[in-house]
Amino acid sequence: MSKNQINESTLSLQVEDLLVSRNLRGMKTVQPALSTGYYLRAARTLYKCKGHVLIGTGFPVVDTFETDGPVGAIALYEALEKLGATPVIVCGPPVSQALMDNYRVHEIRVGEHQERTLEAFKALYNYNPDAVLSIERPGQAADGGYYNMRGESISERTACFDTFVNNAKCPTIGIGDGGNEIGMGNITEALKDLDINAAATCVDELLIADVSNWGAYGLITFFSLWSGRDLLGEFAPLAILEYLSKLGSVDGVTRINELTEDGLPVDEGISVIEELRGLIGYND
């Protein structure tokens, strides 16, 4: 099938099913709670962006940050920049300090609620973003706290990106893989059977995947289709992981500085990319 014959709705369904097929943390189980076509709708929103796109990421793990999230954020950043947008990665230390030499970074810090809200309003006013996206960023639970997959509180180490999402006057998108990320408030009822202290923050469009990084690849699939450019083939997950590892990243599951994401070898992510490229005819 040629690229101009691909049915976009069918492609979205294929992408959505592929990205939760392993069902590592129950995302395939909760998928029916979402209205099909969510990757297509989110990609359309982002593809139109020509101004700032704020990309929140960075999940605190022990005293550093995990690989899942930043890899996908960097992939999206590079793809959106090639399409004419001006992406900005929004994150807290230490990932902010690690990335700011090579990327546009807006740093957020842990602080009192009033301070966090004021900072978000100022940033949203200054950037006037076309879209705000969160990828593997902790979301506030119903009690206002932040929790990891083990149920441990990480509130003291988590800067608040929820305020950006809640106060944005533009489309908001959330990507998550477990239930405790920004955007999961969209499917609160579906998450009740999962062993997770779920996030309550909602977004306009929630995207789920077995690994949040892979959600970025799902979006870039559509960018590649529409631009006629193999954007999926233009970035190297291994190179990004090596870059982050040198800056102190750890795997979110093993908590070890290694070239993996959520306990999976990098080959898993590369395999997903190749499957996505195959859906749009780029690895025939």
| pLDDT tens column, 198-225 | 999 999 999 999 999 999 999 999 999 9
Domain annotation for the chain: domains and CATH numbers: 3-279 (3.90.1640.20)
Q: Which of 196, 171, 178 is nearest to 47 (CA)?
A: 171
**In sequence order, which residues have a C-beta less than 8 Å from that of residue 3 and are 6 or more positions away?**
225, 228, 280, 281
Q: Residue 22 CB: number of other CB atoms within 10 A?
A: 16
**Tens-place pLDDT, residues 229-247:** 999 999 999 999 999 999 9
Please give the Cα distance from 223 to 83 (Å, whole number).
8
> Taking a C-beta distance cutoff of 8 angstroms, is the pair 214, 231 a contact?
no
The model carries a pTM of: 0.96
pLDDT tens, per residue, the chain with 284 residues: 456 689 999 999 999 999 999 999 999 999 999 999 999 999 999 999 999 999 999 999 988 999 999 999 999 999 999 999 999 999 999 999 999 999 999 999 987 777 778 889 999 999 999 999 999 999 999 999 999 998 999 999 999 999 999 999 999 999 999 999 999 999 999 999 999 999 999 999 999 999 999 999 999 999 999 999 999 999 999 999 999 999 999 999 999 999 999 999 999 999 999 999 999 999 75
